[in-house]
Structure 1
Amino acid sequence: MARPGNGSDGPAGTTYDQGVSVGDPPPPIPGARLLFSLDPATAYLNHGSFGAVPIGVQRTQQRLRDEVERNPMSFFAHPGLTDRIVHTRRHLAHFLGADPDGSALLPNATAAVSLVLQSVRLKSGDEVLLTDHGYGANALAVRRQCRRDGASARTVALPLDATDAEVVSRIRGALRPGKTKLLIVDQLTSPTAKVLPVRAIADAARQHDIPVFVDAAHVPGMLPVRVDRLGADFWVGNLHKWAFAPRGTALLAVAPAWRRRIEPLVVSWEHDAGFPLSAEYQGTMDYSSWLAAPAGLFTLRTLGVEAVRRHNAALAAYGQRLVGASLGLAPTDLPDPGAAEAAMRIVPLPSGIATTQPEAHALRQQIADKLATEVAVNAWGGRGWLRLSAQIYNRPEEYENLAERLPPLLASLR
């Protein structure tokens, strides 16, 4: 297979020999790759799974850990610790357009799901409604809570190419007033990289007084957002993916009507203070990731939030078209995420490949081992999907190399 760039259709960009235009990649952000400590021998095209922490933010977190170890008693027992947590929470909440007094710092979006499920207090006969685009761990948490409470979980199917209006219509039709006690939707789905119209979904659910939990794990830093304008009862976003925070940093925003009803997963010394401190303070937990998170936002703002978003979205789209063309797919065969800033894209794999999650995990590992490339592979809707991310440290040639080497690897699996 010819490498991209062997042919050209002029200003529109490069083409493969089979005539599929893949366009031009965006210009790199100068010096961006030097901000990270990623192994240069590996093409890291999977920022969406665990993020990558800039070196400056790593050092900020290490200084905080050093502060702890110089005098653990002074750090953990000092009354100023909760003040530092509150200050950090306010900084992050302001960035996301959330009410800092109604938000709490948590380790990740998954922890927020369990906390909310516990606080909603399901009972026998109740149900939780999910979509088939949701994060797998959330479904596991829902099923466990439903088993404990005698409730049930139900899933509404959303076609990958559904319009926003179709998505809202399908979810509205699946709601069961009086029975559905919680609706969980993703703002940007993990397995399918699809942006859902969460504000319109929340409006539809509110007509029946059904609370909505929005899993926005990938939103902070990638997509512009004003949490206080979405109308969600619960919203959580991870800042350790696209906002350059250390791993273990998420913000859960809770609507006023629910704040007094939030029950922390672990009861600790700030329990009587109520939400949000009751959910945040957990004794000798490592708070360094939270306290270093503003350094991640400083890095993002220094680079230029909009410049980073434009670069990443354009590079992800370029990589999707490039890899798709290498598999014989036209641009119209490639799913559109539904937002111009989306920095994750998916590519359908050939029929019969990675159609189950174990097979998807195995293929991901083979791509890592044999092609020195990290990607995400998911089985969804009876088909395998390759998910590509783009971040400022990525280069066009990483996607070009994957496009050249992936087809022979897939052919060897048949």
Structure 2
Amino acid sequence: MSAPEPPAPIPGARLLFSLDPGVSYLNHGSFGAVPIGVQRAQQRLRDEIESNPLRFFTQGLGDRIIHTRRHVAAFLGADPEGSALVANATTGASIALNSVRLESADEVLLTDHSYGAVAIAARRRCRRAGATVRTVTLPLGATDAEVVSRIRAALRPGRTKLLIVDQLSSATAMTFPVREITAAAHEHDIPVLVDAAHVPGMLPVDVDAIRADFWVGNLHKWAFAPRGTALLAVAPPWRRKIEPPVVSWDQEEGYPQSVEHQGTVDHTPWLAAPTGLFTLRTLGWDEVRAHNAALAAYGQRVVGAALEARELPEPGDTEVSMRIVPLPAGLATTPPEAQALRQHISDKLAVETAVNAWGGRGLLRLSAQVYNRPDEYDRFAERLPQLLHDYRR
């Protein structure tokens, strides 16, 4: 199992970040990393607030938010009038869940790749309504046709009131054919929520073309925005049904203003988001995607070879910049065990990774971003087998 050739670095890209040089940060997918220029743009906004808070919040803030929303929506191919800036994908998912009417005989359908917090939100919403959550199993490496077939077979017309599906799953780094899945659900008038937390900035997307009822993606993972920036896109039939998590002064304006205007919430991450997109375009988005995908594939191969992994799951899209390496049997089989192993790797090797428990097995998730270098994965591959051997003793 030979590793592909790693990509050449993008000149100057590593200097754009303030990451600790003593740590190999191979986990961009969890919380992102904000370029220095974007940090400074956000700090200027904070300084503006503190120079005159009343002026900032009462003179033109709404127009600035609308301008930002339109900028972000255009980047994602979403209707700006049906989009709202929210804190993160989980917030958007909760808003969508609370907009769907549920009764005791109803159900929400998930896949076993769903993000943990979204699954928790679905269970809470169903518990309050007396409804149920049901999960459809999708094997690692399943083809698009198999995914659509399994989900189609799991739908229960009249009972399934919402289908939640990832566009790119977090724990397993698999892409799903969300446009085809949405079409299958709509044959039975079943609404669809697409959790696209990792998509903005990583993968090209045309949100409107997916035709989902709800779509939500984070800008603070792969689009270089400050944390706390995501976009929720809602199809026209649902916009009047959207209720914000907290009622504020713009409640009567309806969606999206009722969701976006939440008093003294910190709006600086949103207003600095266009600077993140500018940074991405300045580096060359095509070049960034190609670099990150190739480097993630390289990292998966060298680490997988070091661990003698028999199979390395493919993500389903060559541009995905997160890859999975199955861990040896018996390691990180539960979420607490996965968290403990991730922390141990961080403490002993000064390497930040993601470790997830999925389907009773441990999965190591490696990310690649423009600040990473092939030698970081090489060193990790050299040291990880011995660490795991000692950890199991």
Aligned to 1:294: 274
Matched, 1:215 2:198: no
Letter paired with 1:359 = E
Q: CA deviation at 1:413?
A: 2.3
Matched, 1:381 2:359: yes
Counterpart Cα distance in 1 of 2:266 and 2:359: 39
For structure 2, list consecutive stretches of 5 or more residues without a partner in the other structure.
none
Aligned to 2:333: 355
Aligned to 1:65: 46
> What whole-Å deviation, never above 9, does each CA across 1:184-218 have from its counterpart, x for those lacking one?
00000000000001000000000000000000000
Q: Matched residue of 1:413: which SS?
A: helix
Counterpart Cα distance in 2 of 1:59 and 1:161: 41
> What whole-Å deviation, never above 9, does each CA across 1:16-45 have from its counterpart, x for those lacking one?
xxxx31121100001111000000000000
Aligned to 1:242: 222
Q: CA deviation at 1:150?
A: 0.9
Counterpart Cα distance in 2 of 1:182 and 1:328: 41
Matched, 1:225 2:237: no
Q: Matched residue of 1:213: which SS?
A: strand
CA contact 2:79–2:233 (8 Å) conserved in 1: yes
Q: 2:4 aligns with which of 23, 26, 36?
A: 23
The 5 Å alignment of 1:92-103 reads 92-103=72-83
Letter paired with 1:162 = A
Aligned to 1:338: 316
Counterpart Cα distance in 2 of 1:84 and 1:124: 43
Moved more, 88-97 or 404-413: 404-413
Matched, 1:34 2:18: no
Counterpart Cα distance in 2 of 1:354 and 1:81: 46
Matched, 1:203 2:160: no
Counterpart Cα distance in 2 of 1:28 and 1:124: 55
Counterpart Cα distance in 2 of 1:37 and 1:337: 29
Aligned to 1:320: 300
What is the TM-score normalised by the length of structure 1?
0.94
Q: CA deviation at 1:122?
A: 1.3
Q: Matched residue of 1:240: which SS?
A: coil
Counterpart Cα distance in 2 of 1:162 and 1:267: 43
Letter paired with 2:355 = V
Matched, 1:281 2:284: no
Q: CA deviation at 1:121?
A: 2.2
Aligned to 2:132: 152
Letter paired with 2:229 = T
Q: CA deviation at 1:123?
A: 1.7
Q: Find runs of 4+ consecutive structure 1 residues off by over 3 angstroms.
A: none
Aligned to 1:53: 34
Aligned to 2:381: 403
Q: CA deviation at 1:161?
A: 1.8
Counterpart Cα distance in 2 of 1:346 and 1:21: 16
Q: Matched residue of 2:142: which SS?
A: coil
Q: Matched residue of 2:319: which SS?
A: coil
Aligned to 2:97: 117
Q: CA deviation at 1:329?
A: 2.8
Aligned to 1:44: 25
Counterpart Cα distance in 2 of 1:21 and 1:146: 47
For structure 1, list consecutive stretches of 5 or more residues without a partner in the other structure.
1-19
The 5 Å alignment of 1:128-167 reads 128-167=108-147
What is the TM-score normalised by the length of structure 2?
0.99
Aligned to 1:267: 247
Aligned to 1:13: none
- Calculate percent identity across the aligned residue pairs: 73
Q: Matched residue of 2:221: which SS?
A: helix
Counterpart Cα distance in 2 of 1:154 and 1:114: 17
CA contact 2:82–2:256 (8 Å) conserved in 1: yes
Letter paired with 1:72 = P
Counterpart Cα distance in 1 of 2:4 and 2:251: 55
Counterpart Cα distance in 1 of 2:97 and 2:359: 26
Counterpart Cα distance in 1 of 2:282 and 2:58: 34
Counterpart Cα distance in 2 of 1:337 and 1:239: 21
Counterpart Cα distance in 2 of 1:237 and 1:23: 30
Matched, 1:372 2:372: no
CA contact 2:141–2:316 (8 Å) conserved in 1: no
In the alignment of these two chains, the number of paired residues is 392
Aligned to 1:175: 155
CA contact 2:85–2:230 (8 Å) conserved in 1: yes
Q: Matched residue of 1:22: which SS?
A: coil
